[in-house]
A = this chain, B = another copy of it.
Amino acid sequence: MSLKSGRTLFVLVLSYTDTARIPGITVAGATPQDTIYTPPADAELIHYGHCISIPGLPMTPDGKPTPALLTRAALLHADIPYIVVDAGCVIPPRMPHIHTGIKPGKNIEAGPAMSHVDATHTIQSGEYMGRTLSSLCDNLIIGESIPGGTTTALALLRGLNLQYMVSSSMPDNPVQIKERVASAATSRLNMDTYMDVAVQTADPMILFVAGMLNSTSSNIILAGGTQMLAVLALATKMGHNTKNTMLATTTYVADDPDISFYRQAELFGVPIVSVRPHLENSKHAGIRAYTEGFAKEGAGAGGAIHAAQTIRGDKILPYIDREYDNILHKCG
């Protein structure tokens, strides 16, 4: 299973969870406070080739660039149209995007992520956007940018009784913190429906994308790692049939020995495309760091690269390197 012939659309779903402010949980931003700017800055970087909401581009505290850089290079190279959705940002992206009125998720260690009313609105918004956008293309690639999102993904999976492990944007996955947060969230559960579980444990991205899947008939490529397993887990509970769905991610997630991605994905019967963009050969140290377990994936990079390489039939790395040159030049 791969890309169908016809039209391809890339959708980047931006969101936020206050769970990202828990110290040590994410490096998607130079500091926990900075993480609110990462989703809009990712979208701006893809759209403009530079960010507006922040100076420079989103970086880990030790200077690894956001995977949105890979996504931009791939979309540009293959001329793939893209649409950005604000599904719960604190700071909306400064470019034309789909506004949904979805609120950021709350810190799930301290209490529910959202109310039932907000959860329903989030899923319904996803259903409308999924129905509309999937009717316009043969391949709908869905990526995400939500700092702290692997922790809410872990909590949702645990809440649904799936003993999964989740990935990290750090080589040393802060598993203990994530498990502590997930335990706090799931300890509030007691014989609940999947909606109760989602409300207690998830983030708005998971509900929105699950809603998209639930209303969608065309080929869906979930572009991401373990967060997309959480989306699949919720969508399956909602009744989504996964036969037109696939996962695309980078080899840095798929082959991470700590998480057994293939085995975890097997349960959903969903094919996996693992993309190996040979970033170890990059001329930029920040890009080579991806092969050492930093960043790994995000902003739909794996799916965008898969689509670009399929459409163009060549390797993406030179375009990533060139795009990083351009961005460094623009951003000083």
Q: Which residues of A contact B (CB under 8 A)?
A: 7, 9, 47, 81-83, 85-86, 92, 94-101, 125, 128-129, 131-132, 135-137
Contacts and interface: CB of A to CB of B under 8 A. Distances in A.
A97 B101 CA distance: 9
A81 B132 CA distance: 5
Contacts of A101: 94, 96
Identify the interface centre among A82, A85, A132: most chain B CB within 10 Å of its CB: A132
B131 A81 contact: yes
B97 A136 contact: no
A86 B98 CA distance: 10
Identify the interface centre among A82, A99, A125: most chain B CB within 10 Å of its CB: A99
Contacts of A137: 136
A136 B98 contact: no
Contacts of A85: 96
Nearest to A94: B101
Given A81-B135, A135-B81, A128 B9 contact: no
A96 B129 contact: yes
A131 B100 CA distance: 22
Given A132-B82, A136-B81, A92 B96 contact: no
Counting from the closest, the 8 A-B pairs by CB-CB distance are: A99-B99, A136-B136, A81-B132, A81-B135, A96-B100, A96-B125, A96-B98, A96-B128
Contacts of A98: 96-99
A304 B85 CA distance: 26
A74 B99 CA distance: 25
A63 B92 CA distance: 38
A9 to B, nearest CB: 6
Contacts of A82: 132
Contacts of A99: 86, 92, 96-99
A205 to B, nearest CB: 15
A135 B92 contact: no
B83 A132 contact: yes
A227 to B, nearest CB: 21
Contacts of A128: 47, 95-96
A96 B92 CA distance: 14
A279 to B, nearest CB: 28
A183 B82 CA distance: 42
A82 B132 CA distance: 7
B96 A136 contact: no
Contacts of A81: 131-132, 135-136
